[in-house]
Chain A
Amino acid sequence: MGKKVLVLAEVRDGELRNVSYEAIRAAKEIASDGEIVAAIVGAGVQSLAEPLIHYGADRVLVAEDEKLKNYTSDGYFQALLQIVDAEKPEGIVFGHTALGKDLSPRLAARLQAGLVSDITSLEKVGENVVFTRPIYSGKAFEKKTITDGIVFVTVRPNNIQPLEKDENRSGEVTPFSVEIKDLRTIVKEVVRKASTGVDLSEAKIIVSGGRGVKSAEGFKPLQELADVLSAAVGASRGACDANYCDYSLQIGQTGKVVTPDLYIACGISGAIQHLAGMSNSKVIVAINKDPEASIFQVADYGIVGDLFEVVPLLTEEFKKVLVKS
């Protein structure tokens, strides 16, 4: 029996986030042959709906209200609850993003539902869907099932392959009228600090610096390399504790857990707490002066050398080959 599954599509800076398509893919597995209903919430987001159909949604509901312009738990919660009440889905999928992490537990609590957060894969086993998720920041994994009620999961960005885009797919896009009452939390202002605009959790390539970077200034060559590769810049706890960079860049068991296609670790020794945050990256490059540094044990490729010599050369070399291709 197919299940009806609701997917919350997420908009950032006027664009759909990739994780929305990944969530649709996960929803497909949960739904079997059931219907995938995507919901898009915000203000002025109607025009973004179509690609959700191309990536596998059967219908899209667009819930718009001026009060939903900025994300707030109260505003989005009311919108989602009204959608859930109307659609009565048997499954719900969110992205495991700042928004998804904030909102999903609240909705699960109201629905008295179990919630499996931060899944990296899923598989059908008989009638059940089994979800795999990292624990101890990726030092181990667990497989989980939901034993009772709605199947509610959040998917970690970058791990589940979206379906092929099919521009011939068609489906209804309908406004969903919501009534948003008082918001108990108000967003006064959003201060942009994320330097490159490439979010760490969704970045395909990350250039990361540790204590070996030596100063805030020392991050410059890393940023230049990142710019050439359209990569995000990250850091180890050592670099953050030494005030070389903002804590929002920290990767590790405290900090962000990332799984990019390529992780370039510069001047990072490889403490266990850092490895937990990045060792599941697909390809790891380590650049470190110390040949004994433990980062080399998880690296696919290593260069033993001074990052201030290696990184600028790397930037130049990438510039050359990327221009050619």
Chain B
Amino acid sequence: MNIFVILKRTFDTEEKISINNGKISEDSAEFIINPYDEYAVEEAIVLRDQHGGEVTVVTVGSEEAEKELRTALAMGADKAVLISNEDLDSQDQFTTSSILATYFKEQEFDLILGGNVAIDNGTGQVGPRLAELLNIPYVTTITSIKIDGSTVSIDRDVEGDVEKIETSLPLLVTAQQGLNEPRYPSLPGIMKAKKKPLETLELDDLDIDEDDVEAKTKTVEVFLPPKKDAGKILSGEIASQVKELVSLLRTEAKVI
């Protein structure tokens, strides 16, 4: 089976955010594979081990994303592709999905996995957009996937409920938390990853004209939420604190 994972390099979840010159500052920030994409990588490896075939991880990003691709290779993916977007002046989810679609139209694929959302921009658009551009079905926020021949049975998380879905390959799915427990790369895995193929593609290599993938949206400002004033820590007997809290919530905060 030809399995692909689309992944994104993101800030670590423990990073604080600061703004410099109107942009999110990346100075000294730690980067990771977007956690939801990490579930996708894990699931891809498990499925390959069950059904045979190959796992290719693909990202659209800067050359720094090579580190995250190597991590995925160390987990057990077979090949990696980095599509460089460094020449682009403006990009959004329209851009990324158009680039990926151009790439995938030249590939033979049975299954594409991704995270259901990236923890930085948080739009969750690229997966469904890509499926539409490739004219294949997709299922988002999956918590289980079983493949039997070309029949695919999926559990999909829908705001806490579970949809039992049946569909078929080729298919695109996006991972929800609970799908699996991603493995840590082993030391031998890390050594092997250094020798696994990692291909870098420029937009020219894909015959993409920048104008055709120009963003449809524009960010005009980035800002931090207003700092909250220190709250009120109550004191006294617990029972009287509780009474005071209930009264404050009703009379001062007026939320009850």
B21 at the interface (CB under 8 A from A): no
The docked-state distance in angstroms from the alpha carbon of A70 to that of B161 is 13
The docked-state distance in angstroms from the alpha carbon of A194 to that of B248 is 30
Partner of A106, one of B36, B120, B132, B228: B132
Are A188 and B166 within 8 A (Cβ)? yes
The docked-state distance in angstroms from the alpha carbon of A203 to that of B250 is 18
* Chain B contact patch, size range: 35 or more
CB distance from A315 to the nearest CB of B (A): 10
Are A301 and B231 within 8 A (Cβ)? yes
Q: Is the interface of A mostly helix, strand, loop or mixed?
A: mixed
Partner of A109, one of B133, B221, B231, B242: B133
* Chain A contact patch, size range: 35 or more
Task: Given A140-B17, A205-B255, answer yes or no on A305-B218 (Cβ-Cβ < 8 Å).
Answer: no
Chain B neighbourhood of A148, CB < 8 A: 214, 216
CB distance from B11 to the nearest CB of A (A): 7
Chain A neighbourhood of B234, CB < 8 A: 301-303
Partner of A254, one of B131, B177, B255: B177
Are A188 and B165 within 8 A (Cβ)? yes
Partner of A193, one of B162, B165, B256: B162
Of listed A117, A139, A194, A318, residue having the most chain B CB within 10 A? A139
Partner of B215, one of A110, A147, A250, A257: A147
The docked-state distance in angstroms from the alpha carbon of A192 to that of B133 is 32
Chain A residue at minimal CB-CB distance from B228:
A298
The docked-state distance in angstroms from the alpha carbon of A316 to that of B214 is 58
CB distance from A293 to the nearest CB of B (A): 11
B2 at the interface (CB under 8 A from A): no
CB distance from A320 to the nearest CB of B (A): 9
Chain B residue at minimal CB-CB distance from A311:
B242
B140 at the interface (CB under 8 A from A): yes
Task: Given A188-B166, A247-B177, answer yes or no on A135-B122 (Cβ-Cβ < 8 Å).
Answer: yes
Chain B neighbourhood of A97, CB < 8 A: 159
B201 at the interface (CB under 8 A from A): no
Chain B neighbourhood of A104, CB < 8 A: 125
Partner of B164, one of A139, A191, A200, A249: A191
Chain B 144-163, CB within 8 Å of chain A: the 1/0 string? Answer: 00000000000001111111
B188 at the interface (CB under 8 A from A): no
CB distance from A228 to the nearest CB of B (A): 10
Of listed B13, B94, B127, B137, residue having the most chain A CB within 10 A? B13
Are A110 and B132 within 8 A (Cβ)? yes
Partner of A130, one of B139, B160, B167, B220: B220
Chain B 116-139, CB within 8 Å of chain A: the 1/0 string? Answer: 010111111111111111000111
**Among residues 45 to 94 in chain A, which have CB atoms less than 8 Å away from a CB atom of chain B?**
70, 73-74
**Among residues 203 to 251 in chain B, which have CB atoms less than 8 Å away from a CB atom of chain A?**
214-225, 228, 230-234, 238-239, 241-243, 245-246, 248-250
Are A187 and B129 within 8 A (Cβ)? no
A178 at the interface (CB under 8 A from B): no
Are B239 and A142 within 8 A (Cβ)? no
Partner of B230, one of A184, A186, A297: A297
The docked-state distance in angstroms from the alpha carbon of A194 to that of B160 is 5
Are B137 and A113 within 8 A (Cβ)? no
Given A280-B225, A283-B249, 14 more contacts at CB 8 Å?
A: A101-B124, A113-B94, A134-B122, A140-B17, A146-B218, A191-B164, A249-B160, A257-B122, A262-B256, A276-B13, A300-B232, A302-B231, A303-B234, A322-B256
Query: What are 25 A-B contacts with C-beta separation under 8 Å?
Result: A102-B140, A106-B131, A106-B138, A140-B223, A142-B222, A143-B219, A143-B222, A146-B218, A184-B168, A190-B158, A195-B160, A199-B159, A229-B256, A240-B177, A248-B159, A248-B160, A249-B160, A254-B13, A255-B177, A273-B14, A299-B231, A300-B231, A302-B233, A310-B242, A321-B250
A interface list, Cβ under 8 A from B? 70, 73-74, 97-98, 101-106, 108-110, 112-118, 130, 134-149, 184-195, 199-201, 205, 229, 240, 246-250, 252-255, 257, 261-262, 271-273, 276, 279-280, 282-286, 291, 296-305, 309-310, 313-314, 317-318, 321-322
